[in-house]
């Protein structure tokens, strides 16, 4: 019987730079959707491959979109402002 041993090789799909923008977004959506289950239930190898593929896809997205919009609340400064607002907002018990 002819068997093919693929131990030590990783099949990660199409190289991200060969995907068009729509395909890249679809791949990113899929990998982000499956992230939680892979972290909780995947083998160490599955998690390693998932990490590698996610880094490839995200790196390609960032390369194509260096000036992507960044929400102020998603920056360190924005987070500090949110934290300051949370501590200065008075609350009235029972209202």
- In terms of phi and psi (left: phi > 0; alpha: psi -120 to 50; beta: otherwise), the region of 91 is beta
Confidence band, pLDDT 50/70/90 cuts, at residue 1: very low
Q: How far is CA 30 from CA 16, 40, 81, in A?
A: 14, 17, 32
53 has pLDDT over 60: yes
Distance (Å, rounded) from C-alpha 15 to C-alpha 90?
52
The residue ranking higher by pLDDT, 10 or 56, is 56
Distance (Å, rounded) from C-alpha 68 to C-alpha 50?
24
The residue ranking higher by pLDDT, 84 or 38, is 38
What integer pLDDT is reported at residue 6 of this predicted model? 44
What integer pLDDT is reported at residue 72 of this predicted model? 87
Judge if pTM exceeds 0.85: no
């Amino acid at each position: 019987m002819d068997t093919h041993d693929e131990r030590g090789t990783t099949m990660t799909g199409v190289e991200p730079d060969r995907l068009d923008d729509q395909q890249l977004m679809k791949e990113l959506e899929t990998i982000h959707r499956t992230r939680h289950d892979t972290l909780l239930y995947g083998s160490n190898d599955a998690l390693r491959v998932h990490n590698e593929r996610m880094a490839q896809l995200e790196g390609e997205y960032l390369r194509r979109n260096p000036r992507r919009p960044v929400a102020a609340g998603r920056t360190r400064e924005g987070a500090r402002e949110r934290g300051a607002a949370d501590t200065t907002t008075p609350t009235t018990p029972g209202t």
